[in-house]
A and B are shown apart, each in its own frame.
Chain A
């Protein structure tokens, strides 16, 4: 399983003659400066509509799923994170890591450009990515003042977000969560 590495070679096709950039799958993309993207994301956050960012995450998840040798749920976390992190890096969305706090999975994204203050845009991006990749509804709730996102059921996402906004750290939040099996 560990032999399947993500191959980034030739991922982007720069057609300089026609001024187009396409991905391996044929989708056309546009390279944006971060100081251009930030105001667009700020506007989306202020309007409470992050659908476009979540859609972008879904597209990235589809790319990751196509690069994997099988269904993500059946593959090792290392392989899945390697491919997901590679696609995130290719698109410039920082470096992706995976942590496990108790029974909770926590995503870490480093090297992101300054976007919105609460990192809600990246949370929407990650939610769209892993929801598509794993064929399950996933909510990635940002932990305040960190670069970490806890992966939870969307139905408890508001509660976890409220804990995070109240100042609870990740260890506290993880301790407030318990699996039915543990109960």
Chain B
């Protein structure tokens, strides 16, 4: 350091000393206090011990120049500052864990399930762009059947973001999906009505692949018989000279002798 520089520094220090000895306006003191508070808030390592420190300030000399945040914002002195700093610290620690982590785990689970397919079954390979797409909710349901995986996933979601944030983020991160291949509409007879004019039940029946129809089971009618059900196999005849009454009367008149 040269002599000229030393002289310049000394002059600056003397001017600073002179300025400190001068009386300051209240407005300047308030601005300095705000700047000081802002600096302290942006330095958590230095402020956090102050939260745990006793209410008595450690440095009374700085007291006039270090107003509490309550003086600036009108809120509670230390708790909001400590809480906000703690939240910032937590977000910084959890920042490397994106919301997409559970989705990645689910995708890994689905991949394991697909491995169990038989060897001879050919699985159509999806394009690489589609693999990064989130699976439909229905296809992901089996992966949630594992209680431990679901519990761990739930804990991660609770800590990372609110459901609204997750929903918005999912919508924003979702790539454009291709249009689903729709089955061709069956041809129907022209009725002169648009689909909106048709009855709701009729439209619903057209939408379903298998229309519901009542099933009635009735017994078949008895077919006409070619010959009678009752059929006489044989009959006998007897030739007698007298009447049946005369023979019976004689038999009934028999007595032991």
Contact = CB atoms under 8 A, between A and B. Distances in A.
A81 interface: yes
Contact of B238 (A75, A77, A130, A134): A77
Interface in B49-107: none
A78 B236 CA distance: 9
Contact of B235 (A6, A98, A103, A153): A6
A12 interface: yes
How extensive is the interface on chain A, given as a class?
A: 35 or more
Given A8-B230, A12-B230, A73-B244, A179 B235 contact: no
A12 B250 CA distance: 36
B257 interface: yes
A76 B240 contact: yes
A153 B242 CA distance: 20
A169 interface: no
Interface in B221-254: 222, 228-230, 232-240, 242-248, 250-254
A121 interface: no
Contact of A156 (B230, B244, B256): B256
Contact of B254 (A81, A96, A152): A152
Nearest to B235: A86
Nearest to B232: A8
A122 B255 CA distance: 23
A46 interface: no
Interface residues of B, number: 28
Given A10-B228, A176-B257, A82 B248 contact: no
Contacts of A17: 222
A178 B245 contact: no
A183 interface: yes
Given A8-B232, A98-B238, A76 B252 contact: no
Dominant SS among interface residues on chain A: mixed
B256 A151 contact: no
A180 interface: yes
Which of B240, B251, B253: most chain A Cβ within 10 A? B251
B252 A152 contact: yes
Given A72-B245, A82-B235, A151 B240 contact: no
B255 A138 contact: no
Given A11-B230, A77-B243, A153 B248 contact: no
A38 interface: no
B245 to A, nearest CB: 3
A153 to B, nearest CB: 5
B243 A76 contact: yes
A32 interface: no
Contacts of A86: 232, 235
Contacts of A47: none
Contacts of A138: 248, 252
A27 interface: no
Contact of A90 (B230, B234, B238, B257): B230
B248 A180 contact: no
A98 B240 CA distance: 10
A52 interface: no
Contacts of B239: 78
9 contacts: A73-B244, A76-B243, A76-B244, A77-B247, A78-B237, A81-B238, A82-B237, A136-B248, A156-B254
| CB-CB nearest 5 A-B residue pairs | A73-B245, A77-B240, A177-B254, A105-B251, A80-B244
Interface of B: 222, 228-230, 232-240, 242-248, 250-257
Given A12-B229, A77-B238, 7 more contacts: A73-B245, A76-B240, A90-B230, A100-B247, A103-B254, A134-B245, A138-B252
